[in-house]
Amino acid sequence: MSAQNLTCPASIQTDPYPTRLHQHPDQPWYKRQEHTVKGRHLPGPLSQSQLDNFEQNGFLFERGFLHSDEVNALSNAMSELLNRNDYRNRSFTITEPDSQEIRSVFAVHFLHRAFQRLARDPRLTDRVKQILGGEHYIHQSRINYKPGFKGKGFNWHSDFETWHAEDGMPAMHAVSASIILTDNHTFNGPLMLIPRSHQHFIPCIGETPDEHHKQSLKKQQIGVPPEDALSAMINRNGIEAPTGPAGSLLLFDCNTLHGSNANMAPDPRSNVFFVFNRQDNACQAPYAAKKPRPSFLCHTPNQLWQPNDH
């Protein structure tokens, strides 16, 4: 391979997923090394056909995961966090690129008991175990709020690319769970995914800037796949945007390419988001950054996080 990683040159020889390169590599993507579903032998709520679907496409959408009263309680908890003045202008609270409207609050399972209970709910964790095939912990949690008319979109990206480059996640043994708290429809910026994109890793171009998270959480530009590779992947596999009522669950693999458009409707789009990482895949030194991201973005196993932590 002719391309070299500017931040960690030695990792090129041992890292199956080199990224943040200074020039395009000889090939547009690398084949995934890990199995997608590792816990078929474990009992749980997902059927073998659902696991087949997840393994093939890299995501699974389930309507009716939560009851309406549960959704209402979580929506109230979300509003409490969004409206806390003492959380404004804090590192773990992210605003829109061109306003003070909050778009994300991180570490929510530490900030509110309702989200802590949800993160531990067997209905969720049993599904995670079937996919990951081992004990897990929460690598990251957040609520995303995309206000009507004002909520901006997110560029196409693989979460694993960022977690690998900037957090030091070694392998693709993580799964994301997004529980929809408002109805998702075509016009309020639902998540879009590229089916089967999880089967390949697309290296990204450009060295990781210092304190990159301060910019990327508002608008990501480094860690975004090249357009030619994206075009080839989309032409091959298409785009899907699962829509449905509040209370639905979207499970997607850590390497599935996804993004979203701006919210063009008057109603907001919101969800709570948990990343479950396998215990034996805990993060190490970043593969393509000078230092790890703050702890509100990258939790460790058995971590007890507080709002004053960095």
Q: What are phi and psi of 19, to 5 degrees?
A: -155, 175
Q: Which helix (H) or strand (E) holds 203?
A: none
Has residue 257 got a pLDDT over 70?
A: yes
Residue 310 included in any domain:
no
- Which residue is it, tokens 């460790």? 300
Residue 185 or 217, more confident? 185
Query: Could you tell me where the beta strands, DSSP code E, fall in the chain?
Result: 30-31, 59-62, 93-95, 102-106, 136-146, 154-157, 174-180, 191-193, 200-201, 249-253, 258-260, 269-278
pLDDT at residue 130 in the model: 98
- Which residue is it, tokens 């002719």? 2
**Chain-centre distance for alpha carbon 223:** 13
Residue 296 included in any domain:
no
- Which residue is it, tokens 């590192």? 91
Local confidence band at 305 (pLDDT 50, 70, 90 cut-offs): confident
Local confidence band at 6 (pLDDT 50, 70, 90 cut-offs): very low
Q: What are phi and psi of 75, to 5 degrees?
A: -65, -40
What CATH number has the domain bearing residue 153? 2.60.120.620
Residue 294 included in any domain:
no
Has residue 106 got a pLDDT over 50?
A: yes
Residue 298 included in any domain:
no
pLDDT at residue 9 in the model: 37
What is the rounded average pLDDT of the residues 211-225? 77
Local confidence band at 218 (pLDDT 50, 70, 90 cut-offs): low
Residue 290 included in any domain:
no
pLDDT at residue 5 in the model: 35
pLDDT at residue 142 in the model: 95
The domain tally of the chain equals 1
Has residue 80 got a pLDDT over 80?
A: yes
Per the structure, the complete domain to which residue 198 belongs is given by 11-281
pLDDT over 90 percentage in the chain: 72
pTM equals 0.92
Has residue 223 got a pLDDT over 60?
A: yes
Residue 3 included in any domain:
no
Residue 84 included in any domain:
yes
Burial track 207-222 (b if 16+ CB lie within 10 A, e otherwise): bbeeebbeebbeebeb
Residue 176 included in any domain:
yes
